[in-house]
């Protein structure tokens, strides 16, 4: 899996957009990223609501 | 780790994957690509010089993606470690410089300029490494062992992956 991702990314760095591999790779990664977004939003909003402002102020002063 | 932090981490990670998915969508439909024109001169002995024009693809959509997602990724790590606001700002700005100089290096045809941009990017990268690996690890080590171990694992993984990229670019420039 990691090898496929590395291969795809290095192909993109080198500038090979129209090969069948890169086109399929981009589509697959797009779907996986979009699904991950939904999952992370769902996970985030399962946490209780708290004041963000106080957290940010505490962080800035830390 | 309190609830508000957990929520913040999830929201930041959701933003990262959202931006990344848009960038990969652009690539999947053939957008976000700039064709850089390069003219190669070939000197001949008995006939006039010949010129060959080649086009190299530059994926500017990826740089737009990275200029948003990598600072968010660093913010995730920095908040996990508990870095101060000043240190986080330095890390994020250095990261933006790193990505933008990478874009400028990809767009230019001048090899000397590419080396210049590369040098600036490496300095910016070292600043990011310093903030994460030295400051971040020191502060994370003062937290509970679970957080410290988790930070070391994902921070280390991020830095290893991020180091492969400039090494590959170095090979490409040569």
pLDDT tens-digit readout, B3-56: 446 778 888 999 999 999 999 999 888 888 888 888 888 888 888 888 888 888
Contacts of B30 in chain A (CB under 8 A): 17-18
Q: CB-based contact (8 Å) between B30 and chain A? A: yes
Across A22-26, average pLDDT:
84
Residues 6+ apart with CB under 8 A from B156: none
Interchain pair A15, B17: CB under 8 A? no
- ipTM above threshold 0.85: no
Between the two ends of chain B, the Cα-to-Cα distance in Å is 46
Interchain pair A33, B20: CB under 8 A? yes
Residue-level pLDDT at B109: 87
User: What is the count of residue pairs from A and B with beta carbons less than 8 Å apart?
Assistant: 89
Q: Which position has the higher pLDDT, A49 or B16? A: B16
Residue A51 has pLDDT above 90, yes or no: no
The 10s digit of each residue's pLDDT in B56-70 is 888 899 999 999 999
Interchain pair A44, B10: CB under 8 A? yes
Q: Which position has the higher pLDDT, B173 or B92? A: B92
DSSP for B94-157, written as a single string = HHHHHHHHHHHHHH---HHHHHHHHHHHHHHHHHHHIIIIIIIHHHHTTS-HHHHHHHHHHHHH
Listed by number, the residues of chain A in 23-52 with a beta carbon closer than 8 Å to a beta carbon of chain B are: 23, 26-27, 29-30, 33-34, 36-37, 40-41, 43-45, 47-48, 50-52
The 10s digit of each residue's pLDDT in B117-173 is 999 999 999 999 999 999 998 988 888 888 889 999 998 988 888 888 778 777 766
Q: Choose the closest CB to B21 out of A33, A61, A62.
A: A33
Residue-level pLDDT at B1: 47
Q: Which position has the higher pLDDT, B93 or B7? A: B93
Q: How far apart are CA A60 and CA B155, in angstroms?
A: 22
Across B88-92, average pLDDT:
94
Lowest mean pLDDT among A9-18, B76-85, B156-165: A9-18
pLDDT band at A54 (very low <50, low <70, confident <90, very high): low
Residues 6+ apart with CB under 8 A from A47: B3, B4, B6, B7, B10
Q: CB-based contact (8 Å) between A2 and chain B? A: no
Q: CB-based contact (8 Å) between A57 and chain B? A: no
Q: How far apart are CA B107 and CA B35, in angstroms?
A: 9
Residue A17 has pLDDT above 60, yes or no: no
Residue of B nearest to A53 (CA): B4
Question: What is the three-class DSSP state of A45?
Answer: coil
Q: In angstroms, how far is CA B158 from the centroid of its own chain? A: 11
Radius of gyration of chain B (CA): 20
- Burial of residue B48 (CB within 10 Å: 0-12, 13-18, 19+) is exposed
Q: Residues B27, B61: contact at Cβ < 8 Å?
A: yes
**Mutation choice for A interface testing from B1, B3, B4 by most A CBs within 10 A:** B4
Strand B50-58 relative to strand B34-42, pairing: antiparallel
């Amino acid at each position: 899996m990691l090898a496929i991702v590395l291969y795809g990314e290095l192909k993109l760095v080198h500038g090979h957009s129209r090969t069948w591999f890169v086109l399929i790779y981009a589509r697959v990664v797009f779907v996986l990223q979009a699904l991950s977004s939904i999952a992370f939003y769902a996970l985030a909003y399962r946490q209780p609501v708290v004041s963000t402002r106080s957290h940010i102020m505490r962080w800035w002063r830390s | 780790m309190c609830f508000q932090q957990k929520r913040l981490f999830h929201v930041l990670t959701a933003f990262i994957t959202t931006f990344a998915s848009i960038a990969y969508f652009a690539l999947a439909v053939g957008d976000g690509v700039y064709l850089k024109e390069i003219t190669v001169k070939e000197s001949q002995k008995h006939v006039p010089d010949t010129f060959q024009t080649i086009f190299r693809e530059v994926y500017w959509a990826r740089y737009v993606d990275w200029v948003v997602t990598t600072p968010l990724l660093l913010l995730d790590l920095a908040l996990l470690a508990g870095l101060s606001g000043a240190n986080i700002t330095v890390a994020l700005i250095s990261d933006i410089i790193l990505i933008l100089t990478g874009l400028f290096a990809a767009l230019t045809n001048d090899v000397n300029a590419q080396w210049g941009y590369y040098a600036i990017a490496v300095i910016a990268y070292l600043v990011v490494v310093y903030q994460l690996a030295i400051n971040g690890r020191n502060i994370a080590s003062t937290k509970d062992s679970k957080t410290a171990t988790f930070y070391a694992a994902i921070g280390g993984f991020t830095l290893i992956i991020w180091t492969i990229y400039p090494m590959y670019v170095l090979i490409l420039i040569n």
